[in-house]
Amino acid sequence: MFELALAWLPRFLAAAALTIALSAAIFAISGLVGLALALATHETKSAAPRRALEAFSGLFRAVPELVVLFFVFFGGLQIGLDLGPIGATLVAFGLVGIAYDFQVFKGALAAVAPGQFEAGRALGFGRLKLYTIVVLPQMLPIARKGWLTYAIGTVKRVSIASAVSVSEIMYVTKQAIAATNAPFLFLSIAVALYIAVVAPLLAFNERRA
């Protein structure tokens, strides 16, 4: 068994590296865009953009991630846009992540006392200075738990990408099981890798803000 595990180890390590890279990219895309959209809707006086973003968020939170992935991957091929498995994964899970992170940041922004905005404006702060100096330092600690909880879920969610042949941890696990008929061994390796990847995020998320 040890020799078998050792033979597959390079592929598992490569799969773990790809899982981390995809998760980090999705986390960055969804976090930055979700934050930008939350700030933009807070500033707008028109109800139409808010309703459109709420509809977008509701749609992508309601539809299963696998359906979104298949829609992006096979839908793209249908219209002649071949994103490839990794590109489709980034787009699909990026859209879902934006839908969730938008809600996380919107809620955190609503928790900042209105008086903080008024005080910043009274001091003559422009919009950029108001948000970077006054609002974001208060808002981000509030959002941290929800944001990182979704990020941790993203690491596990990337396993769905094996359905479109992305060589992440579960894809290699299924290949190893099919080739060797040793499910317990390779599922144990997969579990150990997921724990190793997620444990630092869990530890950071449990720290006091």
- Cβ atoms of residues 124 and 112 within 8 Å: no
pLDDT of residue 171: 93
Give 10-206's CATH code, choosing from 3.40.50.2300, 1.10.10.60, 3.40.50.150, 1.10.3720.10: 1.10.3720.10
Walk along the chain (209 residues) and give the pLDDT tens digit of each residue. Answer: 788 888 999 999 999 999 999 999 999 999 999 999 998 888 777 888 889 999 999 999 999 999 999 999 999 888 888 899 999 999 999 999 999 999 999 999 988 888 888 888 888 888 888 888 888 999 988 898 888 888 888 888 899 999 998 989 999 999 999 999 999 999 999 999 999 999 888 887 776 55
* Alpha-carbon span 53 to 99, nearest angstrom: 8
Residue 80 backbone zone (phi > 0: left; psi -120 to 50: alpha; other: beta): left
